[in-house]
Amino acid sequence: NRDRKAQHDARRPSSSQRGYNGTWDRERVKFLKRNPACRMCGAPAVAVDHIDPHKGDQELFWDRTNWQPLCATHHNSTKQRLERRQAKGS
């Protein structure tokens, strides 16, 4: 699993190249203040997740209707597992 993640990270652009910059940080904080609970379980949200992966599409990246608040558990495991399953099915 660690090797798979390392290979994936080596191929992808940096976080700033993907749009995660100071503007994103400010908007993320505002969004989490308005949406403090994880959409999946109600625990405190710590991440703003893109419901549909933007894959570099800046219009989809900034589409707030495509954002959801998630706790660390759901962002770092559940959502990643769902995206891997979707990628295998396409």
- pLDDT tens for residues 2-46? 786 777 667 766 767 677 789 999 999 999 999 999 999 999 999
- Residue 61 pLDDT greater than 70, yes or no: yes
Burial class of residue 70 (count of CB atoms within 10 Å of its CB; 0-12, 13-18, 19+) = buried
Average pLDDT of the segment spanning 64-79: 91
Average pLDDT of the segment spanning 60-69: 96
Task: Give, for 24, the enclosing helix (H) or strand (E).
Answer: helix 22-34
If you average pLDDT over every residue of the chain, what do you get?
85
Cβ contacts of 51 within 8 Å, gap of 6 or more? 66, 67, 68
**Residue 14: strand, helix, or coil:** coil
Q: Whole-prediction pTM value?
A: 0.73
Look at residues 81, 85, 23 and name the one whose alpha carbon lies nearest to residue 48: 23
Instruction: Tell me what pLDDT residue 23 has.
Output: 93
Instruction: Tell me what pLDDT residue 3 has.
Output: 82
